[in-house]
Structure 1
Amino acid sequence: MTRYRGLTWDHPRGRRPLEQTAAEWRERGVDVVWDAQPLEGFEAHPIEDLAARYDLVVLDHPHLGDAVAAGALQPVGHLLGSEAFVGPSVASYTLGGELWALPLDAATQVSARTASRVPVAPRTWGEVASLAEDGGVALSLAGPHALLSLFSAAAALGHPPVDEPGAPWLDDAGLNGALDLLARVHRAALPGYAELNPIAMLERVADRADPLSYVPLIYGYVTFSRGPDPVTFGDAPRASADSPPGSTIGGTGVAVSARTVIDDDLATYLRWLVSDQTQRRVIPVRSGQPASSAAWRDPLVDAAASGFYSATLDTIEHATVRPRAAGYPAAQQRASAAVRDALDGRITTQALRERLRTETLASVERTRS
């Protein structure tokens, strides 16, 4: 029996469904051993390095440009059946006409709140700013999330990020408008949360002794919707009451190293992971967050998650895809630091525009190299 090594991310949502089903598949003749890396590694570690050591890699779509340029992955579109997936899940893993990862988990930036203190979530960015003035609000800005929040705010204004090598990620109207929306909230936001990743921020929202009670844009984690102190998730803010929410999709797909032979047994296992039946009846009960439309629209799955899926479905269906040029993940980190500088008043909007343009061009140079 061939042994395959897989790498996922170290959170119950990313780890438990894979680890807990591995034993079942070992009995069927498919031996997959899953390791896990921290969230920060998942967001930043080069996929080409991981693909040299692992057969299967659970990844986020911004890494595709680097991985494809390095020849680290192999196309997996032939493994996908007739299943439908929420939002731009499939599109986010499609590059150069090929599908490079199977949608395993779907997530996007949504709002999170303590329902006892914020009974009704703000619908618009104007309402978010008003709530921030009353206290209890903070933005998710650590790591890449400042830039992703800028992208989402721009998308709400009708100016989503551009996934085209050489083109500015945001046009001037999107950048100016989005920065204004975020800055208005940030000026009144609670201090002390800027260094926290989304998981740590959601832990604070769930902690009734912590003053944080609302985050307008943060990646949704179904695991926080359960338990004695659940977090209540809802749609991301809109520019106006009648416009769509603005959000930047995340989630994960499972990719296959270019050096790995996909035999019939491995193909069967991978198809099983993303099948509607697995996504509806296996992934959710093992702390996972499915990607299939069938699972997100399943009343039983939704009820078990305290309405997490129905409350955020509109947001993920309108979510946008990040740039995926080679070099983008590293550029994303540097650009996010520039967004934090702008929100804190250390640089001007024009300086931010120039720094974002610099990072765009850095991605293009990496793509050509």
Structure 2
Amino acid sequence: MTPDYRGLTWDHPRGHNALAEAARLTGAAGTGSIAWDTHSLEGFESRPIAEQCALYDLVVLDHPHVGEAVASDCIVPLEELFAADEIAALEADTVGPSLASYRFAGRHWALPLDAATQVMAYRSDWNEAPPTSWDAVIALSERAPVALSLAGPHAALSFQSVCGALGADPASPRDAFIDRDIARAAYAILARLTKDATRKAATLNPIAMLEAIASGTGPVLCPLIYGYVNYSTQGVIAYADAPSGPGGRIGSTLGGTGIAVSRRAQVTAPLLDHLRWLMSDAAQRTFIPRHDGQPSLRSAWTDPQVDAAANGFYSATRATIEAALVRPRHDHAIAFQTEASALLRAGLLDGSSADRVLDAVDLAYSRHHSHGAET
């Protein structure tokens, strides 16, 4: 039987299982069928969002894709699908900037189903209190294997987060990327942490890094990595808030994913009701966590039962996600993120000077971000 809708999500239990089970229940109830396909975590960057939206009715994306999607006019703003009071309620009820991250050009473009940000991850059998500042992380790296997450886009994301801890906001409207003094200081912190453990883990995406930490074959701690509740639930990884800068500000760059409705979709009331249910308090606090998902409603993040089932993941990292930074979302933001990450990763691994690398990053930003454009 041909499904009424086709959706595309990412091929991890956190990204797929809850959506697939919810779709099964919806189809069984006779209110429309949804078939969810998957692609790799890296698949978010491997195909233009317009191509994905030409093939699928529902597309799971992250917020840096929004500017590209708006420029391509391939997704429907939430304001055309839901009432203003529903959107306002989501703004108030989602943790951190989860919904705000999808606001661009005056409208919202995806429902924030999944909330995540960079946090600190370490082996659950490690018997020390995790460091709380970047100075403490550097001190720990002198006596234990501490690795940065640098693979794929994560060198740029780690850099932006350290800049955030030092006072910058990479998503604020600007025609230069980050103040050079702050950028130099952030680069210096990352350079001091680019030791053997970081070099050995330089090709590991967050899932592979967490697997390496859990198995004992990798570092004992990663100070900035996207939190996956699944590893905490299994008891193999413990999490803590991301490190803070000298002023006590936590630096972390928001991740998570949202569900966008493509222009090709034939939107019906049952489809909208299904999306409403996925974002409901009941689904977010019960159904989604029970099916390997990572909810976005604050009521789920503060629910003692949800937290206990996740071995304290939510309480251990909530301060970080509430303070998380939003990434640049302009058209071509993904291309900039990819290029900047490659430049930063190569510079850190090669021991290049800060200004040489940062000059190249600023040049990339000027190519990919039009003068005066919204960030």
* 1:294 and 2:299 correspond: yes
CA distance in 2, matches of 1:278, 1:42: 25
* Secondary structure in structure 1 of the residue aligned to 2:67: helix
CA distance in 2, matches of 1:44, 1:132: 34
Q: 1:337 aligns with which of 337, 342, 349?
A: 342
**How much identity, in percent, do the aligned residues show?**
45
* Secondary structure in structure 1 of the residue aligned to 2:258: strand
Q: Larger deviation: 173-182 or 215-224?
A: 173-182
Q: 2:239 aligns with which of 233, 242, 252?
A: 233
Aligned match of 1:22: 23
CA distance in 1, matches of 2:22, 2:351: 49
Report matched runs for 1:205-244 at 5 Å: 205-208=213-216, 210-227=217-234, 229-240=235-246, 243-244=248-249
Q: 1:234-265, CA deviations, whole angstroms, 9 ceiling, x for partnerless residues? A: 1000113x613100000000000012232111
Contact 1:169-1:323 within 8 A present in 2 as well: no
Q: TM-score, normalised by structure 2?
A: 0.93
* 1:96 and 2:101 correspond: no
Report matched runs for 1:4-153 at 5 Å: 4-28=5-29, 29-77=31-79, 78-79=81-82, 80-81=86-87, 82-83=89-90, 84-153=93-162
CA distance in 2, matches of 1:273, 1:318: 24
Q: TM-score, normalised by structure 1?
A: 0.94
The one-letter code matched in structure 1 to 2:317 is: T
CA distance in 1, matches of 2:268, 2:341: 41
Aligned match of 1:198: 206
* Secondary structure in structure 2 of the residue aligned to 1:74: coil
Q: CA RMSD in A?
A: 1.8
Aligned length: 364
Q: 1:10-35, CA deviations, whole angstroms, 9 ceiling, x for partnerless residues? A: 00000000111211100231211000
Contact 1:327-1:367 within 8 A present in 2 as well: no
CA distance in 2, matches of 1:221, 1:344: 26
* Secondary structure in structure 2 of the residue aligned to 1:186: coil
Contact 2:99-2:111 within 8 A present in 1 as well: yes
The one-letter code matched in structure 2 to 1:22 is: A
CA distance in 2, matches of 1:145, 1:110: 13
The one-letter code matched in structure 2 to 1:167 is: D
Task: Report the Cα offset of residue 115 of structure 1.
Answer: 3.2
The one-letter code matched in structure 2 to 1:205 is: I
The one-letter code matched in structure 1 to 2:189 is: L
Contact 1:75-1:99 within 8 A present in 2 as well: yes
Q: 1:92-130, CA deviations, whole angstroms, 9 ceiling, x for partnerless residues? A: 000011110000000000000013235311011011011
CA distance in 2, matches of 1:202, 1:367: 39
CA distance in 1, matches of 2:258, 2:37: 16
Contact 1:325-1:367 within 8 A present in 2 as well: no
* Secondary structure in structure 2 of the residue aligned to 1:57: strand
CA distance in 1, matches of 2:344, 2:141: 19
Residues 39/366 of structure 1: CA separation in 2 closer, same or farther (3 Å cut) = farther
The one-letter code matched in structure 1 to 2:39 is: Q
* Secondary structure in structure 1 of the residue aligned to 2:276: helix
CA distance in 2, matches of 1:99, 1:22: 24
Aligned match of 1:323: 328
